Amino acid sequence: MGTILCNGQILVDGKLVKKDILIEGTNVSRIADSIEEAGHEVLDAAGKLIVPGFIDMHVHLREPGFEAKETIATGTASAARGGFTTVACMPNTRPVIDTPETVRLILQKAKEEGSARVLPMGAITVRELGQELTDMAALKEAGVIAVSDDGVGVQSSKMMKDAMKVATSLGLPVVAHCEDDSLVEGGCVHEGVFSEKHGLKGIPSEAESIHVGRDILLAEATGAHYHVCHISTAESVRLVREAKQRGVRVTAEVCPHHLLLCDEDIPGPDANYKMNPPLRSRRDRQALLQGLKDGTIDMIVTDHAPHTAEEKGRGIELAPFGIVGLETAFPLLYTKLVLTGEFTLQEIVDRMTRVPAEVFNLPWGALEEGKSADIAVIDLETEKEVNPETFASKGRNTPFTGWKLKGWPVLTMLEGRIVWQAEEMNSEGARQ
Ligand SMILES: NC(=O)N[C@@H](CC(=O)O)C(=O)O
Ligand SMILES: [Zn+2]
Ligand SMILES: [Zn+2]
């Protein structure tokens, strides 16, 4: 017996079209105007949007080592609630994902307890200390899909160049957290209007852009696929745009919070507005929107970075950087970028499905007959307030509390298995 998702709307060349979808086993077996076949479970998706499960190439699941912040079980449950079926997890765990054993542990846990598919990223350097390259061949063999020292920048140009050479020989993208430590020196927010007003140490834009520029040159020299993490400055966007025009293999991701907020929007010294890179200026935010629009920035990721309430309660200077994002990403983007007319629904969905799949050469991100039944069903009508108490994530650290949003995922399917289902999506039973 399969499942028929009936009467939902799918995106076809930018238009919403009503279709029935038959899911059998782990795959989509048929998409048609109407599927009347008897003997299947029927789920009524009337009026709902049906999209491929979202792919998030930048998530912190925190396990092993930081289970008070998040676990593979809670982080992937959070993903499922947000309509994500595939998440790439960053290696800044304890231990760092720098050995095949840790890769295997994560894959095993994800298989046993996960509500989303987990793709581990391996570290570039041992313990992310920037001193010695990891055994990338062994990491790849164990299942990593890319390498990254996310959480810190690779300070040495020589180390980064060597990393690119090895990664390229193995076909692994180099995913870079771009941050020059010598320019950061204890900053906690963007160096700009907010830092000045509150007398806080700022993080200048060049701290990021310098690495982007350096790494583009290194990618050009080595032929590496270089991917810029959480891009946040106008200068970084310009550098990526120019590099793409010259044919360098560079791709980039941006987070919803950088697209929707700037430092002027921070109401006060609240650690829920503290993340790395920080919320930049109004001009930077405009450059990110433009970069996403024109394809300079390829994809949207959350950089879901849960921390405990105790950690985030230490004040803006002492609290760790990071905010959660999986459960609010699509509603934020839909309400603030699609309903406002700045982006089309197709543009936003593509940057969360098809594009990350293409960039990282993954076989998911499309809703097609014969493909994996990774599906998100989304209610575009009901407005709800963001309430962190309802999150499946252990993290409550979000600046979006109380925002009134539409576009909430109500059902998520991973390889044909329902991994999140809002009450309103209860099955009507088998069709006779
Ligand atoms: N983005 C953040 O503010 N924090 C991330 C690290 C990172 O993504 O660089 C974390 O691990 O908490
Ligand atoms: Zn980072
Ligand atoms: Zn991160």
Q: Known binder of ligand: residue 60?
A: yes
Residue 86 falls in which region: left (phi positive, over 0), alpha (psi -120 to 50) or beta: beta
Residue that the structure tokens 């846990």 belong to? 109
Kind plus residue range of the DSSP H or E element containing 310: helix 309-312
Alpha carbons 189 and 205: distance in angstroms, whole number? 11
- Predicted local confidence at residue 426, as pLDDT: 72
Q: Please, which residues bridge with residue 54 across strands? A: 84
405 contacts: CB under 8 Å, gap ≥ 6: 328, 331, 332, 334, 335, 383, 384, 385, 386
Alpha carbons 375 and 416: distance in angstroms, whole number? 8
- CB count within 10 Å of CB 306 equals 30
Kind plus residue range of the DSSP H or E element containing 89: strand 84-89
Ligand 1 atom nearest residue 60's Cα: 11
- CB count within 10 Å of CB 55 equals 29
- Predicted local confidence at residue 185, as pLDDT: 86
User: CA 236 → CA 50, 93, 206, 392, distances in Å?
Assistant: 34, 27, 9, 34
Cα 282 to ligand 3 centre (Å)? 22
Q: Which of 98, 215, 263, 303 is catalytic?
A: 303
Determine the 3-state secondary structure of 361 from DSSP. Answer: coil
Determine the 3-state secondary structure of 129 from DSSP. Answer: coil
Q: Please, which residues bridge with residue 19 across strands? A: 8
Residue 388 falls in which region: left (phi positive, over 0), alpha (psi -120 to 50) or beta: alpha
Q: Residue 178 CA: which ligand is closest?
A: 2
Are 161 and 176 a contacting pair, CB within 8 Å? no
Alpha carbons 248 and 219: distance in angstroms, whole number? 7
Q: Known binder of ligand: residue 135?
A: no
- Predicted local confidence at residue 432, as pLDDT: 44
Alpha carbons 327 and 81: distance in angstroms, whole number? 6
Alpha carbons 326 and 252: distance in angstroms, whole number? 19
Sign, Cα dihedral of 90, 241, 292, 195: positive
Residue that the structure tokens 């996403």 belong to? 292
Report the C-alpha dihedral over residues 185, 272, 63, 332, rounded to 10 degrees: -120
Ligand 1 atom nearest residue 322's Cα: 3
- Predicted local confidence at residue 428, as pLDDT: 55
Q: Is 135 a catalytic residue?
A: no
Q: Known binder of ligand: residue 62?
A: yes
Instruction: Give strand ranges (E) for 226-320.
Output: 226-228, 250-254, 299-300
Chain length of the chain: 432
Instruction: Measure the N-to-C terminal CA separation of the chain; round to a whole number of Å.
Output: 12
- Predicted local confidence at residue 232, as pLDDT: 99
- Predicted local confidence at residue 425, as pLDDT: 86
Alpha carbons 335 and 377: distance in angstroms, whole number? 16
- Predicted local confidence at residue 315, as pLDDT: 96
User: CA 405 → CA 47, 333, 337, 381, distances in Å?
Assistant: 17, 9, 11, 9
Mean pLDDT by 10 residues, the chain (432 residues): 97 97 98 96 97 99 98 99 99 98 98 98 98 99 99 98 99 98 95 97 98 98 98 99 98 99 97 98 98 99 99 98 99 99 98 99 98 98 98 98 98 98 74 48
Closest listed residue to residue 333, CA positions, set 323, 344, 324: 344
Largest Cα separation within the chain, whole Å, is 69
Cα 61 to ligand 1 centre (Å)? 11
Alpha carbons 263 and 245: distance in angstroms, whole number? 30
Cα 279 to ligand 1 centre (Å)? 13
Q: Report the b/e string of 163-181 with b at 16+ CB within 10 A.
A: bbbbbbeeebbbbbbbbbe
Alpha carbons 95 and 111: distance in angstroms, whole number? 20
321 lines ligand 1 (CB under 6 A): yes
Indicate which residue's Cα is closest to atom 4 of ligand 1. 322
Domains along the chain with CATH numbers? 53-359 (3.20.20.140)
Are 360 and 173 a contacting pair, CB within 8 Å? yes
Residue that the structure tokens 């939902």 belong to? 8
The β-bridge relationship of strands 250-254 and 299-300 is: parallel
